Structure 1
Amino acid sequence: MSHQLNIDKLDLQIISEMSNDASISYAELGKKLFVSGGTIHVRIKKLHEMGVIKGTRLQVNLRAIGYDVLAFIGIYLEKSSMYESVAKQLLKVPQIVRLNYTTGAYSMFAEIICKDSAELRKILQDDLQHIKGIERTETIISLEESFSRPINVSAAL
């Protein structure tokens, strides 16, 4: 894939460094990779235009701002052909932060972040149960996130 998109070693190094710290300045990143800040700017712009870099996000301690429940919802669909319409309805639930179409036991797998178990229960009962195409769900509550890390794209170098 990297050959089709014309991505080289420097591009992968930039992605790797910025995956660990997206707030690093172009000048600082350039020094680290032994190129100019201007080169970093041009490369990042190219990676954005190619769709390789989709954006940058803050990593927030959600518990510190009152979101105490992280859960995963396995969703069984009545028919796999209903995926698109169900996904559009799930997009309207702001607490669902990630949704994947999957193989295996579930048709879809959603990650949801709530303030507490009462909010989770409300979403499960009032929102998800009323979406046409959802046959049933299974909810898995995360007790602790042991780690979260970006993929090391420069490991292939």
Structure 2
Amino acid sequence: MVDMDRADGRLLTALQRDADQSLEALGEAVGLSRNACWRRIRRLEEAGVIRGRVALCDPAALGLGLSVFIAVRTERHDAEWLELFARAVREIPEILGAYRTSGDTDYVLRARVHDVTAYDRLYQRLIRRVPLKDISASFVMEELKETSALPVDTL
């Protein structure tokens, strides 16, 4: 963990809202000079706090309106199976997140697809590549909150 003060937190909050802002606008928003913002951003990048800057795309505008959570159970828990599974989920672009979990479900996957037919194609590709005990999908009916912003103001 990196030592951060409130100004760093305000800066990260502002960058997570809009990383395309000018240094002048950032400085005004967080109460720092342009140069102070630049130095802090560089320090946070070098420390690995800021990993990169990306463009956020609207899934519906790209025809990816269906969000799916996929629960996966396996009978195998060896390194060879895990490598096979990890490679498969990394190589299937519709899978946006993959998480090993506690409880009855071994892994939860988060995916974006066009529709149920597109989900079925994803499902077929996954089960062809990796032996699974059970797989089930939950289709998101309503998205109440979706963000990539971390709660840095709570630190």
Normalising to structure 1: TM-score of the pair?
A: 0.86
SS at match of 1:91: helix
RMSD between superposed Cα atoms in Å: 1.7
Structure 1, residues 56-103: CA drift from partner, whole Å, max 9, x if none? Answer: 232322112211211011111222333333111211111111111111
Using the alignment, how far apart are the partners of 1:90 and 1:111 within structure 2? 10
Aligned residue pairs total: 152
1:24 aligned partner, one-letter code: Q
1:105 has 2:81 as partner: no
| Residue 23 of structure 1: aligned partner | 20
1:53 corresponds, among 36, 50, 54, to: 50
Show CA shifts across 1:104-145 (max 9, x none): 2221111111122111111112x1112234222111111121
Q: Which runs of 5+ in 1 are unaligned?
A: none
Residue identity opposite 1:93 in structure 2: I
Matched, 1:152 2:151: yes
Of 28-37 and 52-61, deviating more is 52-61
CA shift, 1:9, in A, is 2.0
User: Contact 1:71 / 1:140 at 8 angstroms: preserved in 2?
Assistant: yes
Distance 2:11 2:98 in 1: 27
- The residue correspondences of 1:1-157 to structure 2 (distance < 5 A) are 1=1, 5-81=2-78, 82-125=81-124, 127-149=125-147, 150-156=149-155
Name the CA shift for 1:34/1:77 in 2 (closer, same or farther; >3 Å): same
Q: Among the aligned pairs, what percent are the same residue? A: 22
Structure 2, unpaired ranges of 5+: none
> 8 Å contact 2:14–2:29 — kept in the other structure?
no
AA aligned opposite 1:134? L
Q: Tell me, in whole angstroms, the C-alpha distance in 2 between the residues paired with 1:28 and 1:137.
A: 47
Say which is worse superposed, 31-40 or 89-98, in terms of deviation.
31-40
- C-alpha distance in 2 between matches for 1:54 and 1:64: 26
Give the conservation status (yes or no) of the 8 Å contact 2:72–2:107: yes
